[in-house]
């Protein structure tokens, strides 16, 4: 049996890629089977076109879990897109250090660093959604089309709007708790394959029996 996930293009088109297999930036970490679809631009250029203001000087990371679905045009906007609010001016003087006789070692003073963007497992990020710096999105969450996420999203929560607001929970508390304990996305390929009908049909009891 050939285990999928090692190839770049999982389908018979060049619009969808297994994201892990096209990333070269060591500060972008992507789990197995997570895919990105782009019917406008080359999806293999995800780290250039979709991960914005992500400069090595900040040491911040984009972490995306396994089995995530990322739709065309989704953007991840990092710290350097901001201008610091500590200053009396919004003008980013430190990035023009030579002109203002400033020390280039303090260029990061131009913005407020809010840290990593962390996306859980089995997250669906909709068309042209925007995820901002420092946000953590829980396992199983859904981010609606053109939603702008500025705050953390709990697991198995559907959000939408600008800024993102909770629409509803995908499942009740007990189901969410069970799914988070199962972590089916960490199972080996063969085990997931055996229980694929349970996953896709919503048969939680079938998954629980295998735990």
Residues 6+ apart with CB under 8 A from 205: none
Does 83 participate in catalysis according to the annotation? yes
Q: Which of 83, 106, 136, 173 is catalytic?
A: 83
131: tokens are 């995820």
Residue 95's nearest CA partner among 75, 77, 85, 80 is 80
**202 CB-contact burial (10 Å; exposed 0-12 / middle 13-18 / buried 19+):** exposed
Residue 29's nearest CA partner among 71, 72, 60 is 60
Residues classed as catalytic: 83
């Amino acid at each position: 049996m050939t285990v999928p996930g090692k190839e770049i293009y999982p389908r018979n088109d060049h619009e969808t890629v297994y994201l892990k297999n096209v990333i070269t930036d060591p500060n972008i970490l992507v789990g197995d089977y997570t895919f990105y679809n782009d019917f406008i631009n080359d999806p293999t250029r995800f780290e250039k076109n979709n991960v914005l203001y992500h400069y090595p000087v900040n040491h911040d990371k984009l972490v995306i879990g396994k089995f995530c679905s990322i739709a065309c045009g989704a953007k991840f906007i990092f710290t350097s897109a901001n201008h610091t609010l500590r200053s009396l001016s919004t003008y980013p003087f430190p990035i023009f250090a030579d002109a203002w006789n400033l020390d280039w070692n303090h260029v990061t003073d131009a913005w407020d660093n809010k840290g990593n963007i962390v996306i859980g497992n089995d997250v669906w990020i909709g068309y042209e959604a925007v995820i901002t710096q420092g946000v953590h999105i829980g396992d199983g969450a859904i981010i609606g089309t053109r939603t702008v996420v500025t705050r953390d999203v709990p697991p198995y929560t559907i959000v939408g709007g600008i800024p993102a607001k909770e629409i509803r929970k995908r499942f009740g508390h007990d189901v969410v708790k069970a799914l988070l304990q199962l972590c089916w996305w960490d199972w080996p390929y063969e085990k997931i394959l055996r229980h694929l009908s349970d996953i896709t049909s919503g048969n939680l009891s079938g998954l629980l029996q295998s735990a």
